[in-house]
A and B are shown apart, each in its own frame.
Chain A
Amino acid sequence: MGSKPRVGVFVCHCGENIAGSVDVAKLAEEAVGLEDVVFATDYEYMCSDPGQNKIVEAVDEEGLNGVVVAACSPSMHEETFRNVVEDSGLNRYRCEIANIREQCSWVHRNGGTSPTSKALKIIKGAVQKVKRNIPLEPVEMDHSDKCLVIGGGVSGIQAALDVAEAGNEVILVEKEPTIGGHMAQLSETFPTLDCSQCILTPKMVQVSRHPDIELMTYSEVREVSGFVGNYRVTIEKKPTYVDPDACNLCGDCEDVCPVEVSDEFDEGLSTRKAIHIPFSQAVPSSYTLDEDACLGLNPLCCTECSDACDADAVNYDESSQFVEEEVGAIVVATGYDLYPKEEMGEYGAGSYQDVVDGLEFERMLSATGPTGGEVRRPSDGEVPNNVVFIQCSGSRDPENHNPYCSKICCMYTAKHAKLYKESVPDGNAYVFYIDIRAGGKEYEEFIQEVQEEERVLYLKGKVSKLEEVDGSLRVTGVDQTIGEKVEIDADLVVLAQSIIPSDRAEEVSKQLNLNLGPNGFYKEAHPKLRPVESIGGGVFFAGAGQAPKDIPDSVSQGSGAAAKAMDLLAKPTLSQDPQVVEIDEERCSGCGLCLGQCPYGALELNSRGIAEVNEILCEGCGTCVSGCPSNSLSLKNQTDEQVNEVIKAYVGD
């Protein structure tokens, strides 16, 4: 520290969060007795304005050159207190956080004196560390101005448009042949009953026409390297075998194609050809040849589509292209899937044709769907007169399925019941529910309206059994309101299947080093205060990949993620954490063992045969330091001496 260390210790009560189980006054008292600690105090909320001022004043009045804040986790307020210390005129690395809340007071509430003595050890360790910290200046680096958006559902679309509107280039990558995501499949949207495609397709067109958005559909991110501001991304653009610029959507290819397969856009309720367009308003508006369904491209067995194409748009020689891009920020909007109904053993495990999930029912209601918007059941095309809707199918069931609430099902089931009644006015709709959760603008009013409809019966209770009896579906459940068993013979059953993260989430999380929560949704940096940021920074979340969400929430988060990405891209340079490795040239023998330890290739042997570190590439993990046989490497502000002194403070006294 150059001059003699003068450390101040600031113990936060965090209301009762810390003070409730830790003797904060005693900590401050004991701290003053520690070597090199010249000042200590405790205060109710250290992060508040008066709390912060205490630090600023003490630095000035006591001539502190090191600050320990004993408070919550550094992930909460390390930045806050480093800023305070910087405002006091000290280097920001003269501040250390002693985590005595998350890792002490909150987890040892009934421990008598032990939480206080553990907290004191943590403070002692932080004092030992801070007095050996050296001032560091951030390493400034250039960054790419581009933003990558993964996923072209409504939240990804919103994020892409917002970032592009701000003048940054955007690459929007979508795995399907069209953007639009699940929203494009929906019929009407709650609570206003706007037609989903009518509000979505103009946005899709906007994306395709935007000069600053490069749209890559039928593409997937294959590899990501680099770090915040400078990611290097490899994207695979799969072959569509159709030139989108030449294709004029005449549909002649589709007419002659001899192969029919299940149509995924219609959730398998209709068929499509091997050469197809997902729906007529798809963006880009072009056909795609599904190579798995095609009779055979290699060797070429059938050339019907190419022969029929007057525009010469079909090209069987296309192959995957791998595009490399450099981007500064990434928005992850990989969205959701429905929990497969095959998982629902109690509801027939997908074996009954007339038991459909929410998205299948959307297609049945949609004017562009397989039945042209008329509700007709899949088995025989009859109009169903008794429809049972089962909410929370696979949700809120920790023993058998998913523990969480899927959030949107209460609303869309009400919408389904209403739309069904519009289609079949004298039909009966029965809705089984556990609770109605309609927190949202004008949501409760919508539910009320549906509940008051004639021949829509809401039954509070769970369905225990679903079986086929004499050609209809017998639904057995309990009506908790009257405490009786109910049996309904239904013509059609709609399961409000749980929302689960898209199957891409796991791969994307590995590629980008993201954390997934216990249910597979992306974990945000802070559940309340940083809900769109990833823990590592540079990657932002939009849409249902982070948690189940409805359309307005997905769009809001898309804009939120865009704002965060723009904030990052707008900076002229990014400052990189200066906590990197340094080399003691006198000691280094040039053995080169460290080179193999570094995952970033940040180390190399220079012309003198001595290890040299590239500060831009070094991420500061310190793995090489612990692997160096001659102790020639050290990690700034996490040196061997510092760690050893912390250990001594914990157990050596």
Chain B
Amino acid sequence: MEFEPELVGFLCKWCSSAGADLAGVSRRQYPSNLVPVTVNCSGRVDASFILKAFKDGADGVLVSGCHPGDCHYTSGNYKAWRRVAMVKRALEEFGVNPSRLRLEWVSATEGDKFASVVEEFTGEIRELGPGPFNHD
């Protein structure tokens, strides 16, 4: 059977989760591999959440927030930006391909973009194969 990646997506409530909702309202079809966790702000995404997701078996992790300058809480997305960069470096040190972690900016009006991101990311991780702690 073809490898089906398991992906976790941390979406901020105000922009990206609303963008994902819009993809739904527009009935834009995309792969079901990514399961969304809505948090208040991308700045709420603790580095440990990302590591935890990989440790529990995720093959890829998406962090998605409001566009720079548009954060509902002014600047949380900038913090997320730095944290994701930091975790990417850490992943590399552990021998994990850092492209398994992806940061995106998706606004409440970018339903199509959200769907495209998930589509693309699912394809990429499918190419990369199972993640570092995939238990299957």
Contacts and interface: CB of A to CB of B under 8 A. Distances in A.
B56 A107 contact: no
A630 B52 CA distance: 18
With a 10 A CB-CB cut-off, give which of B35, B48, B73 has the most chain A CB atoms: B35
Contact of A535 (B37, B45, B108): B108
Interface in A546-604: 579, 597, 599-600
B20 A535 contact: no
The residue in A115, A121, A516, A643 that gathers the most chain B C-beta atoms within 10 A of its C-beta is A643
Contacts of A626: 43-47, 79, 83
Contacts of A638: 39-40, 44
Contact of A599 (B20, B32, B73): B73
A107 B27 contact: yes
A579 B73 CA distance: 14
A206 interface: no
| Interface-centre pick from B28, B52, B69 (highest chain A CB count, 10 A) | B52
B32 A111 contact: yes
Interface in B1-29: 6, 8, 14-15, 17-18, 20-25, 27-29
B95 to A, nearest CB: 20
Interface in B63-77: 69-70, 72-76
Interface string A95-128: 0000101111011111100110110011001000
A117 B57 CA distance: 17
Interface in A211-225: none
A617 to B, nearest CB: 12
Contact of B18 (A75, A599, A622, A651): A75
Contact of B107 (A75, A104, A515): A515
B24 A621 contact: no
A650 B40 contact: no
A146 to B, nearest CB: 24
A140 B36 CA distance: 32
A643 B76 contact: no
B115 interface: yes
Contacts of A121: 35
Contacts of A313: none
Contacts of B21: 73, 75, 99, 102-103
B58 interface: yes
A102 B25 contact: yes
Given A102-B21, A623-B43, A635-B44, A535 B14 contact: yes
A51 B9 CA distance: 31
B53 interface: yes
Interface string A623-653: 1011100000001001010011011101110
Contacts of B48: 640, 644
A471 interface: no
Given A109-B27, A517-B109, A626-B83, A599 B75 contact: yes
Interface string A495-538: 00000000000000010010111100001000000000001100
B116 to A, nearest CB: 12
The 10 A-B residue pairs with the shortest CB-CB distance, nearest first, are A102-B24, A623-B43, A622-B44, A621-B73, A652-B56, A599-B74, A626-B46, A621-B41, A106-B24, A102-B21
17 contacts: A103-B21, A103-B24, A107-B29, A107-B32, A107-B115, A109-B29, A125-B37, A518-B109, A599-B73, A626-B43, A635-B40, A640-B48, A643-B39, A647-B8, A647-B58, A650-B8, A651-B57
Given A107-B23, A600-B74, 17 more contacts: A73-B24, A102-B25, A122-B35, A510-B69, A515-B15, A619-B73, A620-B40, A621-B72, A622-B43, A623-B43, A623-B73, A626-B79, A640-B46, A643-B49, A644-B48, A650-B53, A652-B56
Interface of A: 73-75, 99, 101-104, 106-111, 114-115, 117-118, 121-122, 125, 510, 513, 515-518, 523, 535-536, 579, 597, 599-600, 619-623, 625-627, 635, 638, 640, 643-644, 646-648, 650-652
